Each structure stands twice: as structure tokens, then as C-alpha cells.
């Protein structure tokens, strides 16, 4: 074939298979969203339209990729999680990351006008996202990763809420507000919010305080169930599942509703009542579905 002379260049492509039996987290981040939020006049400290758009795009990604176990979003970032038994794209790192980044971007652009009704996109200033994959060997590592992001959400939101109250309602300059907040702890910020602006941070909307969890919904289970050991054995079971069985599981997952919630994912309860997330095995579809 005429092409054989050049085909040797394929040998330069290097494999990037992610280690088997590890959780894979693909985290994507908005590129230059600080500037972008100015251009499109995002509301401060949180723009509900922007968050709803992020969540809507994430829901589409989960629908498109039944292998995804769960996702968590805050601000302009989203973390998508594949189960250790996932074999999608033979676990090729670049393929997994780019597929998620591209699918997310496509829906984000497509849905923009639905959420920003009066603010059309202006080319070339289009939103885009970068991403990376990280492996976590143990379920505890994955849980700690999720907790890390949710604690970060809390810390940033408390800071931003206080900062923007001081600026927008308190009439302070950005610099002065920043200066005053330097070195403060959570209690200080709560007090500023309450004393100066009559705001009880606890009453802020959950979507801002907790971020957004996206996953497939099945029948919730009694939280007493010790999920961990069970999860493990189920995971093992699936690891040995044939390709046919894996296809069957994929179909079951496609039937489940993808939901968005703003709840605590640091404590055990969330995971114990939704054991299918850590086990990688679909739960029971709700009776009403």
C-alpha cells in the first residue's frame, strides 16, 4: 500500500492504559472562567444560571456514558468518576478524558441559550474546559477525594459570599474586603455575614453550600447496611463479569434516572443509602419508574 512508507509514525503513539482496579476521576475545569464570567456578567457570588447549566451538561454526560458512577460539581469544575471495574475504551486515559471534556463542552454550548436567555455567546469568546484523569486505588481514597472537593466548595462559598456582601452591599472596594478577610476563620466570616448583613449562612441555598452531586437513582436503601464489605464483594463479582454481562449492566444503568442533588457526601449516610455507587452494581429501579 502506498501509505506503508509513512506508517512507521504510528509506532510513536504510546499506550496510556490506566491501572486496572482503581477508581478513575476525570476532573474538568473551565478555561479562563474568571474572565469569562465578567464578559457574560455572571452574578456574584454565585450565578444560578451558570450552575444549572453546568449541572445540565453533567447530566447529559452521565446519560451518554453509563459507565460513570457519579459526578460532583462546584463552580466551574466537575469531577466524573468511573468505577474500578470500568473497562470503557480499555481504560485509555486520553480517550476517557477527552470524551468527557468534549461531550460536556458540546452540551454546555448547546444548552447555553436555554440558561442564559438574554446573553448570547459571542464568538470567539466561547466557554471551554480542560481536564485530567487521576487514579485512586482504594474506595477510601475516592471518598476522601469527594470530601476534599465538597469541603473546598464550602470554604470557597463562605469566603465568596462574605466577600461579595462586603463589596456589593457593604460598599467596600475589592482590595479592602480582601484585606479584611485575610486570616479570618469560618466563625469570623459567619459573624460578618450575620452582624453586618443579617445573613445566616446556614440559610443559604444548598446548591451553593454543598455543590451538586449527579448519579443514577435507584431505590434508596436502609442506611444501616454495612455497604463497604458488600460493595467490595460485588465489585469483585463484576470484575469477573463477562462482556455480555457487562453489556446487560450497561443497559440497566441506561434505564435509571440521572438525578442532581445538593447534599452532604462527606458522611457515610449518602453512600450507605446508595450502595450501587460504590459497588458498581445497579440497584433496583424505583417502583414508580
Q: Which residues make up each annotated binding site for GTP? A: 29-34, 75-76
Mask 90-109, x = binds its own copies (CB under 8 A)? ---xxx-xxx-xxx-xxxxx
Q: What whole-number distance in Å separates Cα of residue 153 and Cα of residue 269?
A: 19
Instruction: Return the residue of 41, 148, 257, 286 that touches its own copies, per CB under 8 A.
Output: 148
Residue 133, SS3?
A: strand
CB nearer its own copies, residue 167 or residue 260: 260
Instruction: Return the residue of 45, 66, 73, 127 that touches its own copies, per CB under 8 A.
Output: 127
Residues between 23 and 62 that touch its own copies (CB under 8 A): 28, 31, 60
- The kind and range of the H/E element at 213 are strand 212-217
138 binds its own copies per the rule CB under 8 A: yes
Report the binding-site residues: 29-34, 75-76
Query: Chain centroid to CA 167: how far?
Result: 29
79 binds its own copies per the rule CB under 8 A: no
| Binding range to its own copies, per CB under 8 A, among 66-74, 129-137, 176-184, 217-225 | 129-137
74 binds its own copies per the rule CB under 8 A: no
Residues between 188 and 227 that touch its own copies (CB under 8 A): none
| Binding range to its own copies, per CB under 8 A, among 43-51, 88-96, 173-181, 245-253 | 88-96
Report the binding-site residues for Mg(2+): 29-30, 76
Backbone angles phi, psi at 170, to 5 degrees: -85, -10
Instruction: Count helices and strands (H / E) in the chain.
Output: 11, 6
289 binds its own copies per the rule CB under 8 A: no
Q: How far is the CB of 220 from its own copies (least distance, A)?
A: 26
210 and 46 in contact (C-beta within 8 Å)? no
196 and 168 in contact (C-beta within 8 Å)? no
Burial of 92 (0-12, 13-18, 19+ CB in 10 A): middle
113 binds its own copies per the rule CB under 8 A: no
Instruction: Return the residue of 159, 186, 270, 286 that touches its own copies, per CB under 8 A.
Output: 186
Closest CA to 178 of 192, 198, 202, 159: 159
268 binds its own copies per the rule CB under 8 A: no
Q: How many CB atoms lie within 10 A of CB 78?
A: 28
Amino acid at each position: 500500500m502506498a501509505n506503508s512508507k509513512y506508517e512507521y509514525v504510528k509506532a510513536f503513539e504510546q499506550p496510556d492504559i490506566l491501572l486496572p482496579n482503581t477508581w478513575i476521576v476525570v476532573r474538568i475545569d473551565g478555561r479562563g472562567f474568571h474572565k469569562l464570567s465578567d464578559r457574560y456578567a455572571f452574578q456574584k457570588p454565585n450565578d444560578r444560571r451558570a450552575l444549572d447549566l453546568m449541572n445540565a451538561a453533567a447530566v447529559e454526560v452521565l446519560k451518554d456514558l453509563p459507565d460513570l458512577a457519579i459526578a460532583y460539581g462546584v463552580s466551574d469544575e466537575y469531577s466524573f468518576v468511573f468505577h474500578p471495574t470500568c473497562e470503557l475504551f480499555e481504560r485509555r486515559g486520553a480517550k476517557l478524558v477527552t470524551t468527557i471534556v468534549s461531550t460536556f463542552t458540546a452540551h454546555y454550548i448547546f444548552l447555553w441559550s436555554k440558561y442564559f436567555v438574554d446573553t448570547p455567546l459571542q464568538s470567539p469568546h466561547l466557554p471551554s474546559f480542560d481536564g485530567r484523569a487521576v487514579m485512586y486505588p482504594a474506595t477510601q481514597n475516592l471518598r476522601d477525594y469527594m470530601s476534599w472537593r465538597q469541603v473546598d466548595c464550602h470554604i470557597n462559598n463562605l469566603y465568596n459570599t462574605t466577600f461579595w456582601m462586603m463589596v456589593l452591599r457593604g460598599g467596600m472596594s475589592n482590595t479592602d474586603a480582601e484585606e479584611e478577610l485575610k486570616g479570618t476563620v469560618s466563625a469570623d466570616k459567619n459573624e460578618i455575614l450575620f452582624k453586618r448583613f443579617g445573613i445566616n449562612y446556614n440559610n443559604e441555598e444548598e446548591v451553593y453550600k454543598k455543590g451538586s452531586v449527579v448519579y443514577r437513582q435507584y431505590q434508596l436503601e436502609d442506611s444501616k447496611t454495612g455497604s463497604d464489605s458488600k460493595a467490595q464483594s460485588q465489585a469483585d463479582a463484576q470484575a469477573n463479569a463477562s462482556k455480555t454481562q457487562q453489556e446487560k449492566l450497561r443497559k440497566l444503568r441506561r434505564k435509571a434516572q440521572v438525578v442532581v442533588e445538593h447534599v452532604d457526601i462527606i458522611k457515610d449516610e449518602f453512600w450507605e443509602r446508595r450502595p450501587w455507587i460504590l459497588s458498581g452494581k445497579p440497584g433496583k429501579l424505583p417502583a414508580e419508574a
